[in-house]
Amino acid sequence: MSGRLAQFTAPHPSTPPDWQPDWNLAPGARVLILRKQQGRLDAATVLWNLTPGWLKDLSRASFNARAELLHEKPMFKQALAQRRCLIPVNGYYLWKSNGTRKHPWYLRRREGGLALAGIWERYQLDDGQYWDSCALITVPAKGLPAKLAERMPVTFNSGEQAIWLAEATPVAALQPLLLNAEAQVEMIHPVATAVSSPATKGPHCCNPSGPIQTLN
């Protein structure tokens, strides 16, 4: 499962001024999302840790959601129906097991970024202030990601992105959309073990530490 993202290219003209590039973005940090607001595509920085407004124990917040359980889990069900988003990234990390140890790998396209499926929520405070948050959605790994881990983030092509964000898309069509999406990943390579610490920052996080594998 991916618990780390690389988001260092502003993907939208309306990217908020408080957004900062991050080559090793971990849950609990601020992440840029794209969502439909009043019929328009809007970019916002939100907390990467989903906190529904009814959640009392914030330690239960989740940074990921399994596609197979979205329809039945109270944490995700309403957001799936009403508050879907995309998380645009340059790439993401997966950890490959090597005996008792795990080593980080970086996954990306040859050119351009990836659009990960997500859901978002709003947590309203008593004084009227609020914060928005999100979780990315995962499915069983396929393609190149399956060489590294059992699960991967859902990554959409351009047509799937439009269907995911459209308010008119029936809820019943969403789970098949998630489960049938291809990985979109075209290149993978190991990176330095220091990336396992979210305190490690900078462009060098994405540098290969071994051979690059590509999609045949």
Q: 73-113, pLDDT tens digit by residue?
A: 888 999 999 999 999 999 999 999 987 889 999 999 999 99
Spatial distance between the Cα atoms of 105 and 110, rounded to a whole number of angstroms: 15
Spatial distance between the Cα atoms of 107 and 103, rounded to a whole number of angstroms: 13
Question: Tell me, what's the pLDDT at 186?
Answer: 97
* Position 187 confidence tier, pLDDT thresholds 50, 70, 90: very high
SS3 letters across 131-195: EEEEEEEEEECCCHHHHCCCEEECECCHHHHHHHHCCCCCHHHHHHHHHHCCCCCCEEEECCHHH
CATH of domain 5-214: 3.90.1680.10
CA distance readout (Å), 159 to 52, 123, 155:
29, 31, 12
**Average pLDDT in the chain:** 93
The radius of gyration of the chain from alpha carbons, rounded to an integer in Å, stands at 17
Question: Tell me, what's the pLDDT at 1?
Answer: 56
> Strands 213-214 and 151-153, how do they pair?
unpaired
Q: Is the pLDDT score of 158 beyond 80?
A: yes
Residues 31-66 pLDDT 10s: 999 999 888 899 999 999 998 877 777 777 789 999
Question: Tell me, what's the pLDDT at 74?
Answer: 87
Q: Is the pLDDT score of 199 beyond 70?
A: yes
What are the φ and ψ backbone dihedral angles of 73, each rounded to 5 degrees? -85, 125
Enter the pTM of the model.
0.95
N- to C-terminal Cα distance for the chain?
23
